[in-house]
Structure 1
């Protein structure tokens, strides 16, 4: 989920915590628990600071180790310990339980969007991405805002937010069934598919789709249950040669390939170098595919420049490559 929704969930969890008399009757403990649930609800995304180092490092690690089982346990302990040092003489057990729960909920809700997490590390590095809730879902966010208003009007926050989450369960089921129906339609249409990447947009009923068949990639969208094929690309295997082997050694390309599950490639020869470009087909904006990895390689197989990330024009991409040289 996005940062705003994660924090909203942290506040809501702090409200639910008032069901415990030890919290509701102790303003200091309530304040500590609220801080714990808010910070805990965002803590796994502290890895966004990796963007300051490079896009390659960020792609390698975002929602990776910071969302793993060991780090989930660590975040709850670490945040609770910091709060306890600042405000001693609290019931540490209560503080830790609610803070740790906020961290667990953060990782849990992240698996429902298209990006996913490596939540099973260290037992498995597989990305878990169920892909039927948008990173920012207006319905989920607005539901929390309504809950805050009702809390502010004096209603019991435990009842308010538990009621909201009960209703949101049905919303999640609805979105899951929508995705399942689309995948079934695609399977019937193509006969067989090797993979379907589905990503809901913030608009209800509109989805982005990337489909892999034996010999083709299809980019499509679903509007109100009607599937429209937007682009078709031949599925051309990567050449097994020294140029591609060199490209794969580049840190930006390696990070892209470790993250992208549906991509095509282009090889363009220029006078003094060859450009190898990898284009992720899961993300499309106005007939443009903004998530790419590009590496320029000399005739002597030296890497001249490279870049990976989201760019929305060819001019900006070339500027990025020049900066990296």
Structure 2
């Protein structure tokens, strides 16, 4: 999730558990500790593919963060032996603040390596968009109230209520994904499509409308499924350029992308360049992770040794208004195939 949400979550947890003793400092400590796992962004992993696929790696490992929590708890008790709270309460607080960061990240579509140094494919439950105001708002209210009114020597239930609301919202997002999966399974059976992979994720900034990607050979289908829809999902077939993947069979970057994304990739030849797009993130036609991975020289393709990330196209307010209208009314379909054509443009 975004840094503001992670800071708000960490602050709310520490405020709920230690605010009575630490006061407003609990909010500050929790906010700082809640962003600690993302400090790996300053590490130079190499090219753009390496950076993308190593981010949310060791620093998001549940094992590593458990060790960090134990070490920090020991240091705090050494420095402040007379604190009014117990060592077990302190350890539990620090542990929760740290591990909820990667767990929350795992609910997004990016991919989080919770079990590093083991190397299963990254966890991406994809039930929350990377920025979701309705998830973040209760946490910000709790933090703001604590900063204004204080927490020390008081018993306040607002942080606990905010955390409960955030958990209920996450549960609703899980139910939304399940709903979308069930409806798409029915549509696939009717269309007699046997997919190689199915990926379901919320559309930007909400959990009411879901985007579904169905990979089938060299093409893929996209569909939108909403809570208020009555008709079956409409599947739109879009060229994926899967035949171009053979060009990258010897590319270690492509192999790592396949592992990281579960193969939810699109390939476009634009001029003399082979562009690979991670379809999971963003919205149809507007995806933040696109890479030039091969260049054509005469009749031969040459792999790019140092892969760079291309500038990302972003939607505008007109696209957002269309998206919001589609949430409530399925009679206002989005031009998914038209938006997807943007990826083939220079």
**Which TM-score tier does this pair reach, normalised by the shorter chain?**
0.7 to 0.9
Quote how far apart the aligned CAs of 1:74 are. 3.3
Query: Which residue does the alignment assign to 2:214?
Result: 211
What are the Cα deviations for residues 45-99 of structure 1, in whole angstroms up to 9, with x where unaligned? 11111368542232121112211133212332454566667x5545593544322
Structure 2 match to 1:118: 113
Give the 3 Å change call, closer, same or farther, for CA 280–119 of structure 1 in structure 2: same
- 1:228-257 Cα distance to aligned partner (Å, 9 max, x none): 4455226745565xx4344x14x4x45533
The aligned counterpart of 1:100 is: 95
User: Equivalent of 2:20, from 17, 24, 36?
Assistant: 24
Q: In 2, Cα distance between the equivalents of 1:80 and 1:290?
A: 38
d(CA) in 1 for partners of 2:175, 2:109: 16
1:222 equivalent to 2:222? Answer: no
In structure 1, the residue corresponding to 2:307 is in which secondary structure? strand
Larger relative CO (CA 8 A, sep 6+): 1 or 2? 2
Matched, 1:232 2:238: yes
Q: Which whole-Å CA distance do the structure 2 matches of 1:73 and 1:80 have between them?
A: 11
In the TM superposition, what is the alpha-carbon distance from 1:35 to its structure 2 partner?
Answer: 4.8
Q: Secondary structure at the match of 1:110?
A: helix
Q: Give, in whole Å, the separation in 1 of the partners of 2:268 and 2:297.
A: 16
> Higher mean Cα deviation, 93-102 or 278-287?
278-287
Contact 2:108 2:124 in 1 (8 A): yes
Q: Does 1:257 align with 2:263?
A: no
State the partner residue of 2:159.
Answer: 161
CA contact (8 A) 1:297 1:304 kept: no
Match of 1:199 in 2: 201
Instruction: Give 1:44 deviation, angstroms.
Output: 1.3
Is the Cα–Cα contact under 8 Å of residues 33 and 99 in structure 1 kept in the other structure? Answer: no
Number of the residue aligned with 2:139? 144
Contact 1:275 1:296 in 2 (8 A): yes
**Which residue, 73, 82, 107 being the options, matches 2:66?**
73
Tell me if the contact between 1:36 and 1:80 (Cα under 8 Å) persists in the aligned partners: no
Change (3 A) 1:257 1:81: same
Which residue of 1 is the match for residue 171 of structure 2? 173
Alpha-carbon deviation of 1:3? 0.8
Q: Which has the higher strand share?
A: 1
Count the aligned residue pairs: 300
> CA-atom RMSD, angstroms?
3.6
Between 1:125-134 and 1:89-98, the stretch displaced more is 89-98
Give the unaligned 5+ runs of structure 1. Answer: 319-325
Distance in 2 between residues matched to 1:276 and 1:160, nearest whole Å: 52
In structure 2, relative to structure 1, the CA distance for the partners of 1:150 and 1:182 (3 Å cut) is same
The Cα of 1:180 is off from its aligned counterpart by 0.8
Q: Distance in 2 between matches of 1:83 and 1:32?
A: 14
Residue pair 1:220, 1:231 contacting (<8 A) in 2 also: no
Q: TM-score, normalised by structure 2?
A: 0.72
Structure 2 unaligned segments of length 5 or more: list them: 314-341
> For each residue in 1:4-35, what CA deviation from the matched residue of structure 2 results, as whole angstroms up to 9, or x when unmatched?
111111111122124xxxx735x5xx577555
- For the residues of structure 1 that align with 2:282 and 2:14, how far apart are their CA atoms? 38
Deviations 1:105-160 (A, max 9, x none): 11222221222311123345232211111222211211112223443346856511
Measured after TM superposition, the shift of residue 189 of structure 1 is: 0.7
